[in-house]
Structure 1
Amino acid sequence: MTTPPLRPAPWNELHTLAGLWAALAAYLLPLALIAPTAQLLGAHSQFRDAGDTFHNLASLATYADLALARATAGNPLPPTPRLLADPITVRIAWSMAILSSALFILIALTAPRRPLPTIAHALGLHRFQADRLWLPALCVATLYPLTGIYSTIVAHLGLTQLAPTPDPATLSPILRDPAALALYSTATVIAAPLSEEAIYRGLAFTGTLRWGFLPAATFSALLFALSHRDLGTLLPSLLAGITMAWLYYRSGSLWDAIAFHVLYNSLSLILLLTRN
């Protein structure tokens, strides 16, 4: 059996842990800046719709009943409910997501406290081979239908919380605004694959590979799955994370994991656009 070309990183677990804490701050800080930035631009801080179509219709009906009752009694009308996200704030939110991705990459390149050429060599960034991309594509073609099967099974069992379904309150504002859609596409197809692979596979997996492949792959995949903050995507993200770790480990190049991530997210984006 041929030994995989990937070796444990020249940085240790303390560097990895420091980088992960820094990545958490790099996620939370741009998120916290969305509302203040929106207010500076005169926009409302809401970047998600209040709910799906049925929730919004129910809210409008409740408001109409209350407004009618107050008007009949001669009382002041209640404040109009805000059901739709502010398009400016939606653009700000996805701009902040791209900023967060840039910070992720910066952290992955600085947390190991090694020269950039050393880090690039450890991650196999010099080993890009286009003729090897068929394997990430094959893995996407395998895992994507499996995710659909998993979603069907848990839905059939009545476990709707475990079904990986898109959140209309988040996606509807994006689809209503071409600028927001462009930012979302950039964040999803380019920024997220580069930054998340730099942190979860590049820093975390490589930095713990001395534990062995499976423990390091599971550790990095679990971090990746939990970062999505969605119970429905927990298991599919965990499986995808382990697959990307395997692709990286097998080739010795982080580009293989990035290629899988780009293809998977691109397919999700295409399906989202064709369904709406």
Structure 2
Amino acid sequence: MNTRTRTDQPGWLEIVVGIAAMAVVGFAFPILLSDQIDLTGAGGGAFLACLSGIAGLAGFGAAMLVRRRPLPAFGIRRTTARWLWIGVAGGAVALLAKGVLVPLFMWLTDVPTDTQAGYAAGASGGIWLLIVTAIGLVVLTPIGEEFLFRGVVTTGLLRYGPVIATVGSAVIFALLHGINVVLPAALVVGVITAELRRRSDSVWPGVVVHAFNNSITVIAYAVAPGIAA
């Protein structure tokens, strides 16, 4: 467990600035482009897959520039092979939980279920678009979102204790995915990755969790794009 003082950690200013920057890039930018680019097709889906990771990195970059803390203050530090393998196990647990919670959530609620249809279109749009979509969802998005949500948000909330940091950052992460069928899966991933960030003092085990889950999703979309609905 890290012993740095609270003043070494990011705070609410970094959290707000980071999330705002991510929202501008990830949500507002596609709206502005919607008249010029077909974001519902395969090419648009591959573009959005990459944009989700770029948005996270933009949010992290904006948060980091607020007070210029070193990368280890955000949990961006080397970790051990043991923690990376724990990340793989955490990814498997998250995947199993997703298989139970998403159908249950769909049965209990009437929320949108086609929010990732663009990703599915990108993954099933041919080998090159599959590669681009995979880079976006398996590499860029895990790094970008973990740097922002675990490196900035979880770290910033640790001043209020482990429960607030883990649950609070997971809820913020899930809600920013929207009130839709993805919400319970995002909540589970958020809890697991936040707890791994807290215990390992590194964001990299969470990146592994995130990449593991997204890689299975990309494979599923490539094989059967209809499951996005």
TM-score strictly above 0.5: yes
The aligned residue for residue 12 of structure 1 is: 11
Task: Describe the shift of the 1:146–1:164 C-alpha distance in structure 2 as closer, same or farther (beyond 3 A).
Answer: farther
Are 1:95 and 2:95 matched, yes or no?
Answer: no
Which amino acid in 2 is paired with 1:227? L
Deviations 1:156-213 (A, max 9, x none): xx43646978855762464134333222211110111011111111111111211111
The aligned residue for residue 107 of structure 1 is: 59
Structure 1 residue 263: Cα displacement: 1.0
Are 1:179 and 2:125 matched, yes or no?
Answer: no
Partners in 2 of 1:215 and 1:120 — Cα distance? Answer: 23
- Cα RMSD (Å): 2.8
Which amino acid in 1 is paired with 2:137? T
Which amino acid in 1 is paired with 2:57? I
Which amino acid in 2 is paired with 1:104? G
**Contact 2:46–2:122 (8 Å) recurs in 1:** no
Q: What are the ranges of 5 or more consecutive residues in structure 1 without an aligned counterpart?
A: 39-44, 49-84
Q: How many percent identity over aligned positions?
A: 23
Which amino acid in 2 is paired with 1:21? A
Q: TM-score normalised to the size of structure 1?
A: 0.69
**Contact 2:130–2:222 (8 Å) recurs in 1:** no
Please, which moves more after superposition, 214-223 or 237-246?
214-223
Partners in 1 of 2:52 and 2:119 — Cα distance? Answer: 18
Please, which moves more after superposition, 159-168 or 195-204?
159-168
Partners in 2 of 1:199 and 1:183 — Cα distance? Answer: 22
Task: Describe the shift of the 1:166–1:34 C-alpha distance in structure 2 as closer, same or farther (beyond 3 A).
Answer: closer
Which amino acid in 2 is paired with 1:210? R
**Contact 1:30–1:97 (8 Å) recurs in 2:** no
**Contact 1:104–1:195 (8 Å) recurs in 2:** yes
Deviations 1:3-30 (A, max 9, x none): x227555332123212221221121343
Partners in 1 of 2:112 and 2:101 — Cα distance? Answer: 8
Please, which moves more after superposition, 227-236 or 241-250?
227-236
Q: Secondary structure at the match of 1:231?
A: coil
Q: Secondary structure at the match of 2:76?
A: coil
1:127 to 75, 78, 81: 78
Partners in 2 of 1:198 and 1:235 — Cα distance? Answer: 21
The aligned residue for residue 20 of structure 2 is: 21
Which amino acid in 1 is paired with 2:50? I
Structure 1 residue 221: Cα displacement: 1.1
Task: Describe the shift of the 1:159–1:96 C-alpha distance in structure 2 as closer, same or farther (beyond 3 A).
Answer: closer
Q: How many residues align?
A: 222
Which amino acid in 1 is paired with 2:171? L
Q: What are the ranges of 5 or more consecutive residues in structure 2 without an aligned counterpart?
A: none
Please, which moves more after superposition, 167-176 or 180-189?
167-176
Structure 1 residue 241: Cα displacement: 0.3
Structure 1 residue 243: Cα displacement: 0.8
Structure 1 residue 92: Cα displacement: 4.3
1:243 to 192, 196, 213: 192
Structure 1 residue 120: Cα displacement: 0.9
The aligned residue for residue 265 of structure 1 is: 214
Partners in 1 of 2:151 and 2:88 — Cα distance? Answer: 20
